[in-house]
Amino acid sequence: MLDGILQGLGTALLPVNLMMVVLGCFIGTFIGMLPGLGPVTAIALMIPITYGLDPSSGIILMAGVYYGAIFGGSTSSILINAPGCSATVVTAFDGYPLACKGQAGKALAIAAYASFTGGTLSAIMLMVAAPLLAKVSLSFQSADYFALMVLGLSAVAAFAGKGQVLKALIMALFGIMISTIGIDRSVGVDRFTFGLPDLRDGFSFLLLAMATFALAEILMAVLRPGKDNSEEEARQMQQLGSLKLSKEEVREIAPPIARSSVLGFLIGVLPGAGATIAAFMAYGAERNIAGKQRQEQFGQGSLRGLAAPEAANNAASTGSFVPLLTLGIPGSGTTALILGALVAYGIQPGPRLFMEHPDVFWSVIISMYLGNVVLLILNLPLIPYLAKVLAVPRPVLIPMVLLFSLTGVYLVSFNTMDIHVMTLVALIAIGLRLLTFPMAPMLLGFILGGMLEDNLRRALVINDGSLSFLWERPITLAFTVITLVMLLLPLWQWWQARRAPAATLLSEPS
């Protein structure tokens, strides 16, 4: 472990990788502040750039963009009540009221300190937890990997929003179906190509990512034009105020930040949970812990209500790298994109990653320490200037992102057919989003589909076509049981919700 840390430190401190950390943090902060884009779009835009980089440099850049976008999303949440991404929705609950009170500077400072602390503590926990999980994972076989892939897909559905479980499952299965298009890697037979030569190689991961997130987001923005808040934004930007915190305020927010960092990291480790759930759970936990007087402040400009979700969402973004690097299971939609980039590099995330590619494994972890320091140094002095990015006119912003999306996909294959397919997929994605179907499960299903199929095929060959491998090994059985529990949990919650009103009616006197 010590040798790996030293090797990762040497790789992370290379000038080119230090530049990638700074560049990733800056780009992530910039894109994260733009309402509606968020880390998924930021990572999707970075994928074409990273193809020409060394694997370590490319993943360090995307990791910096990831937590930089989470960090930057809080700025628009606080200043104009327009979250830059879903993970910073909770930040607006108390951040925006503080800005309305003329304390926007203090709110941005608290967000910066909480994000720095949450990211740093989670990076320490990542360093400790990742090798331990990797040691346990060394005994994995094809059957275990298959059960693990199914667990990852079921976790996406289980952690879906209220009333979205079935839709998330449908989208995950849809993603698996898309992954089967093309030539079968085992027998060399065309599958679902409809006689079109351009489909024999299947769908490009970059194409799907750009179409479902970047391009679809821009088209959605055109379909739903926002009202002009330029005067309101200008007024709030002029009232940033002081960035300093008193000793009493530091003592008030320190315990929530510490608790939320641990909670956020643990939630981020869960496949499919992500930073959004971590932020909501941390906010709810702190509100329940607080006394009655402090509870009344939540939603009105509570410092605790601002600090807790900011620490949690940044800790969760780092925690999501645990299942990604050690098990090959993305912990969020954004790390699903990073997983696709690793596979494109020819690197298979999993238990052997830190032995076969220790430079990539440890340099990413070490870079997270550096990235959190860079974010703090970068954002605190530049808060008044970065806030002006929010005033970029939509007629300028939309063509820029559209150019990046189309150009990025074309430069990968130099095939105009990909542009047509990308446009078609984006239109389908818009239709699904209007019907409130989540996109992240589809992308996770697409990424995990190939590995799911390969490991299932190997397990069936080893067991002579029998499905007994699902319960013969303890690890496989454990994952199978957990998967069933996670699939049945939403049904149990629905049944309990149906029982509660009936029990209330029966208990009332006639």
Nearest to 170 by CA among 153, 145, 146: 153
- Select the more confidently predicted residue: 481 or 188: 481
Residue 234 has pLDDT above 50, yes or no: no
- Percentages helix, strand, coil for the chain, rounded to the nearest 5? 75, 0, 20
Return phi, psi of residue 240, to 5°: -65, -35
What is the rounded distance in angstroms from the CA atom of residue 41 to the CA atom of residue 25? Answer: 15
H-helix segments, 224-332? 230-237, 247-269, 274-289, 292-295, 303-319, 321-327
pLDDT score of 480: 83
Q: What is the mean pLDDT of residues 391-410?
A: 69
Residue 416, number of CB atoms within 10 A of its CB: 10
pLDDT score of 35: 60
pLDDT score of 223: 73
Residue 221, number of CB atoms within 10 A of its CB: 17
Grade residue 229 by pLDDT with cuts at 50, 70 and 90.
Answer: very low
Cα 368 to Cα 36, 43, 171, distances in angstroms: 25, 16, 32
Residue 393 has pLDDT above 80, yes or no: no
Nearest to 372 by CA among 25, 35, 48: 25
What is the rounded distance in angstroms from the CA atom of residue 107 to the CA atom of residue 85? Answer: 18
Grade residue 507 by pLDDT with cuts at 50, 70 and 90.
Answer: low
Task: Say which range, 28-32, 70-74, 389-393, 484-488, has the weakest mean pLDDT.
Answer: 389-393
Task: Say which range, 165-169, 173-177, 210-214, 450-454, has the weakest mean pLDDT.
Answer: 210-214
Return phi, psi of residue 348, to 5°: -95, 110
Q: Residue type for 223, please? A: L
Report percent pLDDT > 90 for the chain: 0
Mean model confidence pLDDT for the chain: 75
Nearest to 447 by CA among 270, 314, 272, 194: 272
Residue 230 has pLDDT above 50, yes or no: no
Helix (H, G, I), strand (E, B) or coil at 190: strand
19: which residues sit within 8 A by CB, 6+ positions away?
A: none
What is the rounded distance in angstroms from the CA atom of residue 218 to the CA atom of residue 50? Answer: 22
pLDDT score of 228: 47
Length of the chain: 510
Residue 318 has pLDDT above 60, yes or no: yes
Which tens digit of pLDDT belongs to each residue from 332-385? Answer: 667 777 887 887 777 777 766 767 777 777 888 888 888 888 888 877 777 666
Q: Which two tokens stand for residue 268?
A: 């981020």
Residue 161 has pLDDT above 70, yes or no: no
Q: Where are the domains of the chain?
A: 1-226+233-494
509: which residues sit within 8 A by CB, 6+ positions away?
A: none
pLDDT score of 467: 76
What angle, rounded to 10 degrees, do the helices at 55-80 and 303-319 form?
160
pLDDT score of 40: 74
pLDDT score of 158: 40
Q: What is the mean pLDDT of residues 92-101?
A: 79
Cα 62 to Cα 174, 175, 189, 337, 341, distances in angstroms: 26, 23, 35, 9, 9
Grade residue 78 by pLDDT with cuts at 50, 70 and 90.
Answer: confident
Q: What is the mean pLDDT of residues 431-460?
A: 79
Residue 118 has pLDDT above 80, yes or no: yes
Nearest to 296 by CA among 154, 97, 6: 97
284: which residues sit within 8 A by CB, 6+ positions away?
A: none
pLDDT score of 390: 46
Is the separation of the CB atoms in 240 and 384 below 8 Å? Answer: yes
- Select the more confidently predicted residue: 152 or 388: 152
